[in-house]
Amino acid sequence: MADRTLRVCALYPDLMNIYADRGNLLLLERRCAWRGIGFAVTAAGIGDAVDPDAHDLYYLGGGQDRDQMLCAQDLVEVKRDALHAAAARDAVLLAVCGGYQLLGHSYALGDEEIPGVGLVDLRTVRADGPRLIGNVAIEVDLPGLGGPRVLAGFENHGGRTRLGPGERPLGRVLRGHGNDGHSGHEGVRRGNVIGTYLHGPLLPKNAWFADWLIGRALGLAEPLDPLDDALEEAAHAGARRAAGV
Protein backbone atom coordinates (compact mmCIF):
# COMPACT_ATOMS: atom_id res chain seq x y z
CA MET A 1 0.00 0.00 0.00
CA ALA A 2 3.07 2.23 0.07
CA ASP A 3 2.13 3.88 -3.19
CA ARG A 4 -1.20 5.08 -1.82
CA THR A 5 -1.76 8.59 -0.57
CA LEU A 6 -4.80 10.00 1.19
CA ARG A 7 -5.26 13.43 -0.33
CA VAL A 8 -7.22 15.70 2.01
CA CYS A 9 -8.67 19.11 1.31
CA ALA A 10 -9.20 21.06 4.55
CA LEU A 11 -11.82 23.74 3.95
CA TYR A 12 -11.21 27.02 5.83
CA PRO A 13 -8.89 25.51 8.47
CA ASP A 14 -8.17 29.00 9.86
CA LEU A 15 -11.82 29.91 10.38
CA MET A 16 -13.76 26.68 10.78
CA ASN A 17 -11.79 25.01 13.57
CA ILE A 18 -13.56 25.92 16.77
CA TYR A 19 -14.01 22.53 18.39
CA ALA A 20 -10.45 21.30 17.92
CA ASP A 21 -11.17 20.20 14.37
CA ARG A 22 -7.47 19.73 13.76
CA GLY A 23 -7.69 16.67 16.02
CA ASN A 24 -9.75 15.01 13.29
CA LEU A 25 -7.11 15.74 10.66
CA LEU A 26 -4.36 14.57 13.03
CA LEU A 27 -6.06 11.19 13.44
CA LEU A 28 -6.28 10.72 9.69
CA GLU A 29 -2.67 11.75 9.21
CA ARG A 30 -1.14 9.52 11.89
CA ARG A 31 -3.26 6.48 11.13
CA CYS A 32 -2.25 6.70 7.48
CA ALA A 33 1.42 7.20 8.37
CA TRP A 34 1.52 4.21 10.73
CA ARG A 35 0.31 2.04 7.84
CA GLY A 36 2.67 3.42 5.25
CA ILE A 37 -0.11 5.31 3.48
CA GLY A 38 0.92 8.75 2.30
CA PHE A 39 -0.97 11.79 3.56
CA ALA A 40 -1.25 15.14 1.85
CA VAL A 41 -3.37 18.02 3.05
CA THR A 42 -4.29 21.10 1.06
CA ALA A 43 -5.91 24.08 2.74
CA ALA A 44 -8.64 25.93 0.86
CA GLY A 45 -9.46 29.31 2.36
CA ILE A 46 -11.74 32.18 1.38
CA GLY A 47 -11.48 32.82 -2.35
CA ASP A 48 -9.49 29.66 -3.12
CA ALA A 49 -10.82 27.43 -5.89
CA VAL A 50 -11.21 23.74 -5.08
CA ASP A 51 -10.22 20.98 -7.50
CA PRO A 52 -12.98 18.35 -7.47
CA ASP A 53 -10.65 15.62 -8.76
CA ALA A 54 -7.54 16.27 -6.69
CA HIS A 55 -8.70 15.07 -3.26
CA ASP A 56 -10.04 11.89 -1.71
CA LEU A 57 -11.52 13.54 1.39
CA TYR A 58 -12.89 17.03 1.96
CA TYR A 59 -13.14 18.24 5.56
CA LEU A 60 -15.24 21.13 6.86
CA GLY A 61 -15.25 21.92 10.59
CA GLY A 62 -17.19 24.26 12.86
CA GLY A 63 -16.81 28.00 13.39
CA GLN A 64 -18.15 30.97 15.28
CA ASP A 65 -21.24 32.62 13.82
CA ARG A 66 -19.40 35.40 12.03
CA ASP A 67 -16.76 33.10 10.56
CA GLN A 68 -19.41 30.59 9.56
CA MET A 69 -21.27 33.32 7.68
CA LEU A 70 -18.11 34.39 5.83
CA CYS A 71 -17.38 30.81 4.82
CA ALA A 72 -20.97 30.07 3.79
CA GLN A 73 -20.88 32.93 1.33
CA ASP A 74 -17.61 31.72 -0.12
CA LEU A 75 -18.72 28.07 -0.24
CA VAL A 76 -21.72 29.01 -2.32
CA GLU A 77 -19.98 31.50 -4.58
CA VAL A 78 -16.59 29.84 -5.09
CA LYS A 79 -16.69 26.15 -4.17
CA ARG A 80 -20.21 24.80 -4.64
CA ASP A 81 -19.81 23.33 -8.10
CA ALA A 82 -16.50 21.68 -7.25
CA LEU A 83 -17.91 20.09 -4.11
CA HIS A 84 -20.91 18.76 -6.05
CA ALA A 85 -18.55 17.30 -8.63
CA ALA A 86 -16.38 15.73 -5.93
CA ALA A 87 -19.42 14.18 -4.27
CA ALA A 88 -20.61 12.87 -7.64
CA ARG A 89 -17.35 10.94 -8.02
CA ASP A 90 -17.78 9.54 -4.49
CA ALA A 91 -15.07 11.50 -2.74
CA VAL A 92 -15.64 11.54 1.02
CA LEU A 93 -16.97 14.82 2.41
CA LEU A 94 -17.03 15.06 6.20
CA ALA A 95 -18.66 18.12 7.73
CA VAL A 96 -18.82 18.63 11.49
CA CYS A 97 -21.05 20.97 13.52
CA GLY A 98 -21.08 24.41 11.83
CA GLY A 99 -19.81 22.75 8.66
CA TYR A 100 -22.67 20.25 8.80
CA GLN A 101 -25.15 23.13 8.91
CA LEU A 102 -23.74 24.42 5.62
CA LEU A 103 -24.23 21.12 3.76
CA GLY A 104 -27.95 21.66 3.32
CA HIS A 105 -30.15 24.37 1.79
CA SER A 106 -29.95 27.03 4.47
CA TYR A 107 -29.39 27.98 8.07
CA ALA A 108 -31.91 30.51 9.37
CA LEU A 109 -30.81 32.73 12.26
CA GLY A 110 -33.69 35.05 13.07
CA ASP A 111 -33.99 37.49 10.18
CA GLU A 112 -30.82 36.29 8.54
CA GLU A 113 -30.44 33.23 6.38
CA ILE A 114 -27.07 31.65 5.70
CA PRO A 115 -27.04 29.83 2.37
CA GLY A 116 -25.87 26.21 2.18
CA VAL A 117 -24.22 24.28 -0.65
CA GLY A 118 -27.21 21.98 -1.12
CA LEU A 119 -25.29 18.69 -1.14
CA VAL A 120 -28.03 17.12 0.96
CA ASP A 121 -31.67 17.92 1.58
CA LEU A 122 -31.77 19.55 5.00
CA ARG A 123 -32.55 22.84 6.66
CA THR A 124 -31.32 24.26 9.93
CA VAL A 125 -33.06 26.85 12.09
CA ARG A 126 -31.68 28.63 15.15
CA ALA A 127 -34.35 28.04 17.76
CA ASP A 128 -35.19 30.24 20.73
CA GLY A 129 -34.60 27.40 23.16
CA PRO A 130 -31.31 26.61 24.85
CA ARG A 131 -28.27 25.38 22.94
CA LEU A 132 -28.11 21.62 22.73
CA ILE A 133 -24.98 20.82 24.70
CA GLY A 134 -23.55 17.64 26.12
CA ASN A 135 -22.00 14.26 25.63
CA VAL A 136 -23.69 12.25 22.93
CA ALA A 137 -23.64 8.70 21.59
CA ILE A 138 -25.29 7.44 18.43
CA GLU A 139 -25.69 4.06 16.76
CA VAL A 140 -24.65 3.94 13.13
CA ASP A 141 -25.00 1.21 10.54
CA LEU A 142 -22.37 1.73 7.88
CA PRO A 143 -21.60 -0.40 4.84
CA GLY A 144 -18.79 -2.88 5.18
CA LEU A 145 -18.76 -3.12 8.97
CA GLY A 146 -21.02 -6.14 9.37
CA GLY A 147 -23.32 -4.53 11.93
CA PRO A 148 -24.13 -1.44 13.95
CA ARG A 149 -21.41 0.50 15.77
CA VAL A 150 -21.40 3.39 18.25
CA LEU A 151 -20.01 6.87 17.66
CA ALA A 152 -19.44 8.98 20.78
CA GLY A 153 -18.68 12.69 21.02
CA PHE A 154 -19.78 16.06 22.31
CA GLU A 155 -22.40 18.33 20.79
CA ASN A 156 -22.90 22.08 21.26
CA HIS A 157 -25.25 23.73 18.79
CA GLY A 158 -28.00 26.33 18.75
CA GLY A 159 -29.36 25.22 15.37
CA ARG A 160 -32.01 22.54 14.92
CA THR A 161 -31.56 20.51 11.76
CA ARG A 162 -34.43 18.80 9.92
CA LEU A 163 -33.76 16.28 7.20
CA GLY A 164 -35.85 16.25 4.02
CA PRO A 165 -38.07 13.21 3.36
CA GLY A 166 -35.56 11.38 1.17
CA GLU A 167 -32.59 11.89 3.47
CA ARG A 168 -31.16 9.39 5.98
CA PRO A 169 -29.50 10.35 9.25
CA LEU A 170 -25.95 9.26 10.01
CA GLY A 171 -27.23 7.51 13.10
CA ARG A 172 -29.84 7.02 15.77
CA VAL A 173 -29.44 8.92 19.05
CA LEU A 174 -28.68 6.68 22.02
CA ARG A 175 -27.89 9.52 24.41
CA GLY A 176 -27.87 13.25 23.80
CA HIS A 177 -29.86 15.60 21.59
CA GLY A 178 -28.93 14.91 17.97
CA ASN A 179 -30.20 16.97 15.07
CA ASP A 180 -33.06 18.73 16.81
CA GLY A 181 -33.50 17.28 20.28
CA HIS A 182 -36.52 15.11 19.53
CA SER A 183 -36.41 13.33 16.16
CA GLY A 184 -33.92 10.75 17.40
CA HIS A 185 -31.86 11.50 14.31
CA GLU A 186 -28.22 12.51 14.34
CA GLY A 187 -26.35 13.83 11.35
CA VAL A 188 -26.86 12.91 7.74
CA ARG A 189 -25.28 10.48 5.31
CA ARG A 190 -25.81 10.28 1.60
CA GLY A 191 -23.20 7.94 0.15
CA ASN A 192 -19.86 9.38 1.17
CA VAL A 193 -21.25 12.79 2.10
CA ILE A 194 -21.46 12.85 5.89
CA GLY A 195 -22.57 15.57 8.27
CA THR A 196 -22.71 15.36 12.06
CA TYR A 197 -22.92 17.52 15.18
CA LEU A 198 -20.46 15.22 16.96
CA HIS A 199 -17.23 16.97 17.78
CA GLY A 200 -15.02 16.38 20.77
CA PRO A 201 -13.25 15.97 18.32
CA LEU A 202 -15.03 13.12 16.53
CA LEU A 203 -12.20 10.96 15.19
CA PRO A 204 -9.96 10.74 18.28
CA LYS A 205 -12.98 9.44 20.17
CA ASN A 206 -13.83 7.02 17.37
CA ALA A 207 -10.63 5.84 15.75
CA TRP A 208 -12.51 3.01 14.02
CA PHE A 209 -14.53 5.64 12.16
CA ALA A 210 -11.34 7.38 11.02
CA ASP A 211 -10.29 4.05 9.50
CA TRP A 212 -13.67 3.60 7.86
CA LEU A 213 -13.36 7.05 6.28
CA ILE A 214 -9.82 6.35 5.06
CA GLY A 215 -10.97 3.09 3.48
CA ARG A 216 -13.94 4.77 1.76
CA ALA A 217 -11.86 7.70 0.59
CA LEU A 218 -9.23 5.43 -0.97
CA GLY A 219 -11.86 3.09 -2.36
CA LEU A 220 -10.25 0.07 -0.68
CA ALA A 221 -11.95 -3.27 -1.02
CA GLU A 222 -10.03 -4.91 1.83
CA PRO A 223 -9.94 -3.62 5.43
CA LEU A 224 -6.96 -1.55 6.59
CA ASP A 225 -4.12 -3.21 8.48
CA PRO A 226 -4.92 -3.31 12.20
CA LEU A 227 -2.99 -1.05 14.61
CA ASP A 228 -2.34 -1.26 18.35
CA ASP A 229 -5.43 0.66 19.41
CA ALA A 230 -5.44 0.07 23.16
CA LEU A 231 -5.45 3.79 23.99
CA GLU A 232 -7.87 4.57 21.16
CA GLU A 233 -10.30 1.98 22.47
CA ALA A 234 -9.92 3.23 26.05
CA ALA A 235 -10.62 6.81 24.91
CA HIS A 236 -13.66 5.61 22.93
CA ALA A 237 -14.92 3.76 26.00
CA GLY A 238 -14.36 6.91 28.10
CA ALA A 239 -16.39 9.03 25.67
CA ARG A 240 -19.18 6.45 25.66
CA ARG A 241 -19.16 6.33 29.43
CA ALA A 242 -19.37 10.13 29.59
CA ALA A 243 -22.47 9.93 27.39
CA GLY A 244 -23.92 7.14 29.55
CA VAL A 245 -23.63 4.29 27.04
Pick one of 53, 131, 148, 168: the residue that binds other proteins (CB under 8 A): 131
By CB under 8 A, tell whether 231 contacts other proteins.
yes
By CB under 8 A, tell whether 183 contacts other proteins.
no
Nearest CB to other proteins, comparing residues 88 and 234: 234
Give whole-number Cα distances, 115 to 28, 71, 94, in Å: 29, 10, 18
Name the helix (H) or strand (E) containing 101. Answer: helix 98-101
Rounded to the nearest whole angstrom, what is the least distance from the CB of residue 135 to other proteins in the complex? 7
For residue 160, give the 3-state DSSP assignment.
strand
**DSSP of 198-219:** -BSSHHHH-HHHHHHHHHHHHT
By CB under 8 A, tell whether 77 contacts other proteins.
no
Establish whether the linkage from the previous residue to 201 is cis, with ω within 30° of 0: yes
Cα dihedral sign for 16, 25, 19, 129? positive
By CB under 8 A, tell whether 220 contacts other proteins.
no
Pick one of 18, 40, 85, 220: the residue that binds other proteins (CB under 8 A): 18
Q: Which stretch binds other proteins (CB under 8 A): 51-59, 85-93, 116-124, 201-209?
A: 201-209
Q: Where are the beta strands (DSSP E) in 32-111?
A: 38-44, 57-60, 92-96, 106-109
Task: Give the count of residues interacting with other proteins (CB under 8 A).
Answer: 35
By CB under 8 A, tell whether 133 contacts other proteins.
yes
- Residues designated catalytic: 97, 199
Cα dihedral sign for 6, 69, 76, 162? positive
Which positions lie near other proteins, rule CB under 8 A?
Answer: 14, 17-20, 22-23, 26-27, 30, 64-67, 70, 131, 133-135, 154, 156, 199-201, 204-205, 228, 231-232, 234-235, 237-239, 242
